[in-house]
Amino acid sequence: MEVDKKRERHCRRSESTLSNSLSKRDYRIIKKIGEGTFSEVVKTQSLKDGKYYACKTMKQLANSLEKAHSLREVQAMKRLNPHPNIIQLHELVFDQESGSVSLICELMDMNIYEFIKGRQYPLPENKIKHYMYQLCKSLDHMHSNGIFHRDVKPENILIRHDVLKLADFGSCRSVYAQPPHTEYISTRWYRAPECLLTDGYYSLKMDIWSVGCVFYEIISLRPLFPGTNEIDQVNKIHDVLGTPDSATLQKFKPSRAMRFDFPPRKGCGLSHLIPQCPSPTLSLLYQMLAYDPDERISARSALHHTFFKDQRMAEKRAVSLRRAIGTVDGGETSGTPNSVDQLWRIARQGRRQHHLKHMADPLMRCNPHRYPVELPKLNVVVPSPKITYPVSSLPALTITHRGSLPAITSKKCHSRLVKPKDPHRTAFKTYYMPPLERKRGEY
């Protein structure tokens, strides 16, 4: 009872400190969205422009503004922004008195777990392709910028107006950092075999395995490998994919806690679990869930898979239209095929204007060769996604693709010691509005 009272007093002091800190930067707190092991998130409103944002406040304190900027998540977001499928960092707020660090980010509607939770019927195939294409684009952008995420799961994939964005970069790491890495990093259900079977000898291909698990979950509306512990997790993988051959296992540096004497097992296969799944979908799933990370498909190659043929064609049409008619003023920078409809509307409008002008001006009928046949070029501009970093808060970032991101020493301890309330998901939530009713998994 006394512990609960102390915790409640501490929460009130924290909320008061956060409120004072944000009010100095002209933000007001609307409501608390969620809380995880390393941060808490509140919905805020800017008193300057009236817009709503998600404010993620780190539980790890910093003793200076320089230390705040050196946090791994801050460095990663500044390197990766702007991108249409990466959560956008608007501003960093550092309170010198308390040492708290808050990230003001764009506010999304929900995460993928909330989106599919409770659904009785699967999503349409074109919707699945639309979301997965954006997810692969976000990972391709990360990996090409020298960072891998290490905690891809439905709770960290956010959507708003059919635009998907990857969030929560607190666990990310440089692709050039030498292993061993932190052992218990990814959420267990989405943890790749090399993370389960070794003492931290894994690479960026672990993200692709996690994406494959998310892909299956979006298709089937249920998790693929819901293991209750590390041993059970490996067994569930072998139940579906079968026991790997000795050549594959020899590539893994054995873990101190995991023996490799697995009983031979064939595995039921993904086609048995989702029998109505088309061949291109199964093909991409199997390539993402290859047991051997060397044989696992990359994010860049996944974007060129047959499964995404429609998305690639839509993007090509959009590019062709932009070249033909210029750029559209006020268009959303989603980078997704739903912008094609808007471009077609502009094209049709341009043709109508050209026709009316032709009918109104007799000189055009007399001298048709003086006027171009193609669509009139509209003198408008699409604003590219921009992030304004106040000079006092966010200094210019010198991007280096070599070397590791700043280490957060406290995370490795938490990964072993902190146990979330629900044994099926990690207790973490970020950037979206609806409260998370069920916390799933663990680190």
Binding site for ATP: which residues? Answer: 56
Q: Which of 151, 232, 261, 341 is catalytic?
A: 151
d(CA 178, CA 156): 25
Here the tokens at position 43 are 């919905």
CA torsion sign for 26, 29, 34, 37 is: positive
Contact 429, 35 (CB under 8 A): yes
Print the SS3 string covering 283-332: HHHHHHCCCCCCCCCCHHHHHCCHHHHHHHHHHHHHHHHHHHHCCCCCCC
Answer for the pair 308, 207: CB distance below 8 angstroms, yes or no.
no
Q: Which residue has the tokens 């020298």?
A: 146
Among residues 109, 94, 101, 107, which one has the least CA distance to residue 53?
107
Q: Contact at 8 Å (CB) between 346 and 380?
A: no
- Is 52 within 8 Å of 65 (Cβ atoms)? no
CA 129, 132, 136, 142 dihedral sign is positive
CB-based contacts of 8, cutoff 8 Å, min separation 6: none
- Residue length, the chain? 443
Q: Are 149 and 142 in contact (CB under 8 A)?
A: yes
Amino acid at residue number 293: P
Q: Looking at the DSSP assignment, which residues form a beta bridge with residue 432?
A: 108
Q: Give SS3 for 383.
A: coil
C-beta separation of 214 from 135 below 8 A: yes
Instruction: Tell me, yes or no, if 109 is annotated catalytic.
Output: no
- What positions carry a catalytic annotation? 151
